[in-house]
Structure 1
Amino acid sequence: MQLYRLLTEDDTSAFCHKVSLALSKGWSLYGDPTYAFDAARGVMRCAQAVVKEVEGDYHPDLKLGEQ
């Protein structure tokens, strides 16, 4: 089964570390990163989709960050 996650974070090195950690755990980039301005907080936000092939069946209680 293929899992999907959308990683989001403020546009800081924390976002790069979050994506790098996912890649180190076997996730693959899916599409291009996106950026948007959060007017309420006055900061840029980043998002990157990642996917990973795993064994088993999907269930809503699955902890994607632990895969």
Structure 2
Amino acid sequence: MMIYRFLSGDDDSAFCHKVTKALSEGWLLYGAPHYVFDAATGTMRCGQAVTKEVEDQPYDPDKKLVDYV
């Protein structure tokens, strides 16, 4: 089964670490990153979709995606 996550945050090193951690856990980048200016805070926000192929198992919407193996 393929699972999907969308990571988002301020455009800073913490966001880069979040994406790097996901990659180190077997997630793959899906598409290009997205950027938007948050006028309320005056900062750039970014997001990156990632996917991961996991063993065939029933999908459980109550299960955290990081808990799928």
The TM-score, its normalising length taken from structure 1, stands at 0.93
Runs of 4+ in 1 over 2 A off after TM superposition: none
SS at match of 2:7: strand
Aligned Cα root-mean-square deviation (Å): 1.0
Give the distance between the partners of 1:21 and 1:64, measured in 2 at CA. Answer: 14
Aligned length: 67
The percentage of counterpart residues that share the same residue type is: 64
Distance in structure 2 (CA, Å) of the matches to 1:31 and 1:3: 15
Structure 1, gaps ≥5 residues long: none
Structure 2: runs of 5 or more not aligned: none
What TM-score do you get using the length of structure 2 for normalisation?
A: 0.91
